[in-house]
Structure 1
Amino acid sequence: MKLPGITAASTAAALAFTVLAPVPAQAAPKPVIQLLALNDLHGNLDAVPGAAGQVVTTDDAGQPANVQAGGLARMATLLKRAREGQNRSLTVAAGDMIGGSPLVSAAYHDEPAVDVLGEMGLAVSSVGNHEFDEGRDELQRMVRGGCHPVDGCAVDGEEYAGTPFPYLAANVVDTASGEPILPPYWIKDYDGVEVGFIGLVTRDVPSVVVQSGIAGLEFRDEVATIDRYAKELSRKGVKAIVTLIHEGGEKTSPAYDFDCDAQGPGTGVVGPIKAIAERASSAVDLIVTGHSHEAYVCSIPDPKGKPRLITQAASFGRTFTDIRFQINPDTGDVVRKSVTAANRIVALDTPEDPAIKSLVDTWHARSAEIADAPVGYISGDIPGRGSKDPEKPLGDLISDTQAEATGAQIAFLNPGGMRADLVYEAGGREGDGVVTYGESFQVQPFGNILVTMDLTGAQVLQVLREQYSGANAEFPRLLQLSGSLEYSVDESRKDSERILAETVRIDGAALDPSAVYRVAANTFLADGGNDFPTFKEGTDRVNNGVDLDAFVSYLKAHSSAKKPFAPPKADRVTFLGQPQRLL
């Protein structure tokens, strides 16, 4: 039976057409790469107590809510969950993974943090400024291995093996050789799909670390460095390029899952990373950042006007960033429109990974005797790093401890010199209100020497003005100060004019420009750190012991179980008008 209208001839023709017609080629699948990114851990194996360990999220009613977060054993669980179904996943970091650490890690020169991060699968990291806290030689020992030259092996009979991941330092150059002190980039081959990672740190390292530790080093321009090594990777045939950079910016929302593109006009990230992202080579497809301790995902056009994501997770292990993108199999480049990223909170109700928890507990047991010793008592929380106010109660306390320890009339503290809060609620078995040595160390982990010097009244005023001028003009940096000094800031004025000279009082008396005052500061500030060059002009300089020792001695002398220390009022600086955000 023949169907109407279909003849043998027409059937043959149809068959011929079917055989000869080109079959559409199946598009090659686009490999998906996953990066799990963290930054600014600062050796915090555990969740940080107090406000410094919180992230801002939203409650069921959509209102802002602060929640505690962190802990590497919890993060390990979440990283494993995030990797499920991803056969090309890599954990990366953007610096400050060590340095400024609590006692459990710092007591062993941050070998515990490296140990735990290695077990968690960290594959590569850029250096941060805090990787230089103990100097260049110690950073290179951390990378290459070997026991500490003074303190020996952390575990008797076991030599430290070094970082199981590469540290990258593309813009940190030995001034004699002109070569980077660590590899500038690293290439990951995913079964023929290559991704290059350029790692670098803020060029402002000399203003934020002790100078003696970085002698003979040059910290080069970030954009020029990125461009140089993006070209080198491209010449090697690597087209998918990620930059890990320890530099960041400030954002317009405190939320941990801040998405610039979802917030509308007038929002986003400002600061150094924005200018870097706008100018760095378009060959770079993604920029993972750190340093500012902010959490954000932002799209900033590259020099060709093409959207490019910059990301950052919050500090102290509170969040990590889950980044995913496709690779074009024909070109080997990132499909830019496929790049997605989201910050994930490390909630305290997350089950702890048993293997990582066991490792963390092992390091805690080694330092427990020192860490758990009580050194003082407080009647309530004393906010420091976690305080949102420019003048911080803990900053007042620390400055007072340094003035008393040195006999200085005035003591100054850089805001980055306090790393946590003092929390009333017990973190272990010590009891509420008890301050342990470990908690004190977490607040003051650097072991900075206190320096006393002579400054004239005019120089003291200039120090105050430097909080709002020079390199600190865009993001003012309020020094914490001892109780002998008070002054007012007029926020309606610009830059250094905000400091009202006529309001400056020392021990209740007006500042005398020609008088000489004895001033205390840690070695970092005394060397002009954080862009306070006037401190370097101080004369008759004397070293007066370690900042942590001053803090512990003060708590022992001024508190007891029956009479705990009350939180300071933080009222030494009077702000006329709403203070802008300060670092």
Structure 2
Amino acid sequence: MNDFHGALEPPKVGVPAKTADGRDVEVPAGGAAYLAGAAKALREGQANTVTVSAGDMIGATPLPSALFLDEPAINAMDLVGVEYNAVGNHEFDKGSAELLRMQTGGCEKHTSRQPCRLEPFDGASFRFLAANVRRADGSTLFPSTGTKDFGPVQVGFIGMTLKETATLVSPAGVAGLTFADEAVTANAAVPQLRAAGADAIVLLIHQGARTDGLYNDKGCPGLSGDLLPILDRLDPAISVVISGHTHRAYVCDYKRPGGGPLLLTSAGRSGIMITDIRLGVTAGGGVQVRSAGNVIVQGEGFTAGTKQVPLNTEFRTFGADEATAALVRRYVDASLAEALRVVGRLSGEVTRDLNEDREQTAGNLIADAQLAASRGAGAQVAFINSGGVRTDLAPAADGSVTYGQIFAMQPFGNSLVTKTLSGAQLKAFLEQQFASGTNTAENPNMLLPSAGFFFAYDLKRPAGDRIVEMLLNGRRIEPGASYRVTVNNFMASGGDNFTVLANGVEVTDAGSDLDALEAWLAKGVKAPGLGRIKDRTAR
């Protein structure tokens, strides 16, 4: 599995699927108790099994997990039966010291929240792996590899995150750590595992791909993504790659140049699927047989607004594991009063859906709230990175919005920072949406601005010259003028490859991003529309 993100409760997600007779349907999926039930059902009757995860088990989590520092997510994964988890970028959201506590347990405080708030925390029974996460002395934060002994044969695991992790989390959270090249690191671990007796080697990597097919389309049409160049450089001794990060689901027989067959899998996100991988391994002979299929974790139907997704009897249903269900109930009940507290009102739904200009209303709402909260610091414009907006926001019939809803929308606990940038720096900042690190013209990392700011771009222009218009309250941005700009602390320190922001001056703290959104909604606001961004690329 991969990208669980502390989804203790069923996330009200329907998996698009096809029935045996070719009909398109949605299958309800997810929930830690059903995930544990599915894992146990798939292991039942099998003598040789191991359950593993490819990262982002914690971080960016719903309130019942996040309110308790993701301790319940770790405990739930113990009950699921996980034995190894490769760290992902979100494992570092609260810093390496807190991540180490997730492994070893205890109640030492590393964040603003109180550890062990509901009960003592013993840490994970499973092992974190971090082959490419290095301290200054060259040692790894967690072990690079692990081995599962099946009597006559042994299976070795290499675990790692993507090398860009340092740009995807707050720099303070990864201070003193470096993230090495994935393929080089994996290949270096192969001789060690061979020497330790591994007959088959599996890579758990928090990097991923995308396909145009459904969750179990073995043809993997349109396979693409940052993982593929890594696969092409792997030692042929690595037979299976279990991936994540993109939140996509796929099972592929990947053909690497001159390297023989490679089984590539990903199980989507939030515990909605689990990949059932079958290997035939002989002592000294490696993997002789390999197959896999993604299994939808169907346990109960759901209603979301006017949408109803009932159980689908054409797909397997799993019972809830009782111990995991009890754990979930305990933490959900403990978070309920806070989750249901009404914080304000909104005139209509805002979503993360991108229009043709790559703009979204949910991001616009957050940017407006952040500008309002930082006016006292002189802010003239605020920006939110699209990755910082985690859910849509749909008010109740009376317009009310709860704390649980806005927490799900902004679960990171970021603070707001206001900086002074020149007009030239502001343009360079916006250019980095399309040409900085992993931000490219093909896969832009969009910034959503507050009301009153407008920008237009042309992706056919050369890198560094794609922003063709910038207006603040109808007036053109002047290169030599100064502007007060608000962003979250993650971006302010260069996160998401927005490195220009680190050069800002006259830095002012403007409080919590979540507090800003709560205060904005408390006034009762109209859902913002679109029109702040324009794509002027000629078609």
TM-score by length of 2: 0.90
Q: CA deviation at 1:437?
A: 0.9
Find 2:233's aligned residue among 271, 275, 279. Answer: 279
* Aligned equivalents of 2:501, 2:246: Cα separation in 1: 25
Q: CA deviation at 1:495?
A: 4.3
- What residue number does 1:208 align with? 168
Matched, 1:403 2:371: yes
- What residue number does 2:334 align with? 366
Q: CA deviation at 1:488?
A: 2.2
- Say if 2:36 and 2:79, in contact at 8 Å, map to a contact too: no
Find 1:555's aligned residue among 515, 521, 527. Answer: 521
C-alpha RMSD over aligned residues:
2.3
Amino acid at match of 2:361: P
What secondary structure, in the 3-state scheme, does the structure 1 residue paired with 2:120 have?
Answer: coil
- Say if 1:281 and 1:302, in contact at 8 Å, map to a contact too: no
- Where structure 2 has 5 or more consecutive residues not aligned to the other structure, the ranges are 302-310, 312-316
Amino acid at match of 2:76: V
Matched, 1:138 2:109: no
Amino acid at match of 1:334: V
What secondary structure, in the 3-state scheme, does the structure 2 residue paired with 1:243 have?
Answer: strand
* Aligned equivalents of 1:367, 1:387: Cα separation in 2: 32
* Aligned equivalents of 2:7, 2:25: Cα separation in 1: 23
Q: CA deviation at 1:422?
A: 1.4
* Aligned equivalents of 1:59, 1:240: Cα separation in 2: 35
Quick one: structure 1 residues 285 and 225, their matched pair in 2 at CA, closer, same or farther if it must change by over 3 Å?
A: same
Q: CA deviation at 1:250?
A: 3.1
- Say if 1:44 and 1:113, in contact at 8 Å, map to a contact too: yes
Q: CA deviation at 1:59?
A: 6.7
* Aligned equivalents of 2:256, 2:39: Cα separation in 1: 30
- What residue number does 2:184 align with? 224
Deviations 1:2-38 (A, max 9, x none): xxxxxxxxxxxxxxxxxxxxxxxxxxxxxxxxxxxx1
- What residue number does 1:5 align with? none
Quick one: structure 1 residues 380 and 64, their matched pair in 2 at CA, closer, same or farther if it must change by over 3 Å?
A: farther
- Say if 1:256 and 1:345, in contact at 8 Å, map to a contact too: no
Amino acid at match of 2:155: V
- Say if 1:313 and 1:343, in contact at 8 Å, map to a contact too: yes
The 5 Å alignment of 1:457-468 reads 457-468=423-434
- What residue number does 1:321 align with? 275
Amino acid at match of 1:328: T
Q: CA deviation at 1:324?
A: 1.1
- Where structure 1 has 5 or more consecutive residues not aligned to the other structure, the ranges are 1-37, 426-430, 560-564
- What residue number does 2:286 align with? 333
Q: CA deviation at 1:252?
A: 3.4
What secondary structure, in the 3-state scheme, does the structure 2 residue paired with 1:200 have?
Answer: strand
Deviates more, 1:144-153 or 1:94-103: 144-153
Q: CA deviation at 1:354?
A: 3.1
Deviations 1:161-190 (A, max 9, x none): 110100001111111x21111111111112
- Say if 1:48 and 1:420, in contact at 8 Å, map to a contact too: no
Identity of matched residues, % = 38
- What residue number does 1:357 align with? 325
Quick one: structure 1 residues 59 and 569, their matched pair in 2 at CA, closer, same or farther if it must change by over 3 Å?
A: farther
- What residue number does 2:306 align with? none
- Say if 2:220 and 2:252, in contact at 8 Å, map to a contact too: no
The 5 Å alignment of 1:422-571 reads 422-424=393-395, 433-471=399-437, 472-473=439-440, 474-493=442-461, 495-500=463-468, 503-559=469-525, 565-566=526-527, 568-571=528-531
Q: CA deviation at 1:475?
A: 2.2
* Aligned equivalents of 2:389, 2:323: Cα separation in 1: 31
**Number of residue-to-residue matches in the alignment:** 514
Matched, 1:419 2:390: yes
Quick one: structure 1 residues 59 and 424, their matched pair in 2 at CA, closer, same or farther if it must change by over 3 Å?
A: farther
* Aligned equivalents of 1:62, 1:397: Cα separation in 2: 40
- What residue number does 2:48 align with? 88
Amino acid at match of 1:436: T
- Say if 1:42 and 1:98, in contact at 8 Å, map to a contact too: yes
Matched, 1:295 2:249: yes
- Say if 1:321 and 1:343, in contact at 8 Å, map to a contact too: yes
Q: CA deviation at 1:209?
A: 0.9
The 5 Å alignment of 1:12-161 reads 38-49=1-12, 53-58=13-18, 62=22, 68-149=28-109, 152-155=114-117, 158-161=119-122
Matched, 1:171 2:124: no
- What residue number does 2:307 align with? none
Quick one: structure 1 residues 497 and 375, their matched pair in 2 at CA, closer, same or farther if it must change by over 3 Å?
A: same
* Aligned equivalents of 1:67, 1:149: Cα separation in 2: 41
- Say if 2:431 and 2:467, in contact at 8 Å, map to a contact too: yes
Quick one: structure 1 residues 537 and 153, their matched pair in 2 at CA, closer, same or farther if it must change by over 3 Å?
A: closer
* Aligned equivalents of 1:535, 1:48: Cα separation in 2: 35
- What residue number does 1:306 align with? 260
- Say if 1:170 and 1:199, in contact at 8 Å, map to a contact too: yes
Deviations 1:446-490 (A, max 9, x none): 111100011111111111111111321252111111112112233
The 5 Å alignment of 1:165-204 reads 165-175=126-136, 177-204=137-164
- Say if 1:239 and 1:283, in contact at 8 Å, map to a contact too: no
Quick one: structure 1 residues 354 and 105, their matched pair in 2 at CA, closer, same or farther if it must change by over 3 Å?
A: same
What secondary structure, in the 3-state scheme, does the structure 1 residue paired with 2:529 have?
Answer: coil
Deviations 1:228-281 (A, max 9, x none): 11110011221211010111123334x33343x264xxx21x222101111011
Quick one: structure 1 residues 262 and 523, their matched pair in 2 at CA, closer, same or farther if it must change by over 3 Å?
A: closer
- Say if 1:280 and 1:303, in contact at 8 Å, map to a contact too: no
Q: CA deviation at 1:433?
A: 4.5
* Aligned equivalents of 1:410, 1:249: Cα separation in 2: 35
Deviations 1:482-501 (A, max 9, x none): 1121122335545454432x
Quick one: structure 1 residues 281 and 490, their matched pair in 2 at CA, closer, same or farther if it must change by over 3 Å?
A: same
- What residue number does 2:345 align with? 377
Quick one: structure 1 residues 453 and 135, their matched pair in 2 at CA, closer, same or farther if it must change by over 3 Å?
A: same
Amino acid at match of 2:133: V
- Say if 2:4 and 2:58, in contact at 8 Å, map to a contact too: yes
Deviates more, 1:136-145 or 1:484-493: 484-493
What secondary structure, in the 3-state scheme, does the structure 2 residue paired with 1:525 have?
Answer: helix
What secondary structure, in the 3-state scheme, does the structure 2 residue paired with 1:327 have?
Answer: strand
* Aligned equivalents of 2:77, 2:97: Cα separation in 1: 21
Amino acid at match of 1:149: K
* Aligned equivalents of 1:387, 1:361: Cα separation in 2: 35
